[in-house]
Structure 1
């Protein structure tokens, strides 16, 4: 796979590096909300539903109880990581929209077909995304759209997803939307376009596994 696509996968990891607290987002002004992004509410119920989708998929993939408990232990921050991805989805979509970047259904289908060919079929791809990124099978197409938006936005900017120029566009979108997280899930670092644990005093880097390359 093209290097830019592999770099984009880092953007979509379930746990992008935590960063020092820069903003004090989140209050009691939005009861029942896990986050408010612009005029859109992400309710606690919606977040819990997304987490349940992942847990159900993990249970189906790992029927052995002891192994399933190990999976849960390794993904203990699933709710916060899932919320991060839900917010980032809206921030990136806003940034892409501001730059006139769109993604068609056909492009998503083509990307999925290519990935299925690389990983060994639809089930293998779903398993890979579940294990690597905490994405439930029913959310796979949504996640691929996010990847495509990031790729096309980077191309439009003449850069890649690791370049400060790319992240400055996401910073602008975060500021425009005014992301506000429920304090139980941390805060939103506008400059990094990333969720932050409010009491975490150190920087933690997590690198997502690379997906296979094509010639």
Structure 2
């Protein structure tokens, strides 16, 4: 399970690093939708709900007002980063489906058990996932399912989540899904499997230096 733990952390870190901290365009060409992925909408309301869950978890974890304000300042691009993750989740699911990869509840719970042992308990794991990856406690199991999915997809490809072969599979899935972001949040680059700024798509993400997809 040590390799799975390491790979899970790498993929979660990639979700965070994937979203460039850029200014989004204000042209709302998708009323009510933050993104359309495979013909299915991710609504602005769904995105805002996810962001609110993270902020509420941050508030509960950091009751001191000054510390909370610091946490908010460190995650000023939270909405765009969260949308990036929500889209990438669906891209990963399509890539896994294309590869015939399935994940059982038992596999998810086994990963959680292993990570809890490593972190020092359930609360410590939840706190770490919130602080490092912006995953609130109520979405931890969903995220761990994605970690297992990513690991099994990589194994089916004969690689791991840090290698270009894995990210190429996500790129192909993203093209199949024809991801379309509301220009407010930028645009989707299927080659990078990441959100980019809509007005300057050539601008590279200097905040994600060392991210697995560029390895």
Report the counterpart of residue 24 of structure 2 in structure 1. Answer: none
Give the match for residue 56 of structure 2.
Answer: 56
TM superposition score normalised by structure 1: 0.87
Instruction: Give the Å deviation of 1:70.
Output: 0.3
CA offsets per residue over residues 91-120 of structure 1, 9 Å max, x none? 000000110000111111111011111101
Aligned counterparts of 1:80 and 1:89: Cα–Cα separation in 2? 14
Instruction: Identify the structure with bigger relative contact order (alpha carbons < 8 Å, sequence gap 6+).
Output: 1
Consecutive unaligned residues of structure 1, counting only runs of 5 or more, are 20-25, 209-215
Measure the CA separation in 2 of the matches of 1:62 and 1:116.
Answer: 21
Is there any run of 5+ residues in structure 2 with no aligned partner, and where? 21-26, 211-215
1:206 aligns with 2:201: no
The answer for the alignment partner of 2:16 in structure 1 is 15
- 2:31 aligned counterpart, secondary structure: coil
State the distance in 2 between where 1:111 and 1:162 align: 19
- Alpha-carbon offset, residue 17 of structure 1: 4.2
Residue 187 of structure 2 is matched in structure 1 by: 187
Q: Distance in 1 between matches of 2:94 and 2:172?
A: 9
Distance 1:148 1:16 in 2: 19
Equivalent pairs counted in the alignment come to 201
Q: d(CA) in 1 for partners of 2:186 and 2:12?
A: 19
Say whether the 8 Å CA contact 1:18–1:197 is kept in structure 2.
Answer: no
Query: What is the distance in 1 between the residues matched to 2:19 and 2:125?
Result: 27
More helix by share: 2
Contact 1:84 1:194 in 2 (8 A): yes
Aligned to 1:146: 146
User: What are the residue-to-residue correspondences of 1:48-87 with 2, within 5 Å?
Assistant: 48-87=48-87
Residues 1:151 and 1:112: Cα distance change in structure 2 (over 3 Å): same
**1:161-200 map, 5 Å:** 161-199=161-199
Shift in Å, 1:199: 4.8
Q: CA RMSD in A?
A: 2.0
Q: Which aligned segments of 4 or more residues in structure 1 are displaced greater than 3 angstroms?
A: 205-208
- Indicate the residue corresponding to 2:133 in structure 1: 133
Distance 1:42 1:147 in 2: 21
CA deviations 1:40-92 (Å, max 9, x no partner) are 11000000000000000000000000110000000001111111111011000
Counterpart secondary structure, 1:76: coil
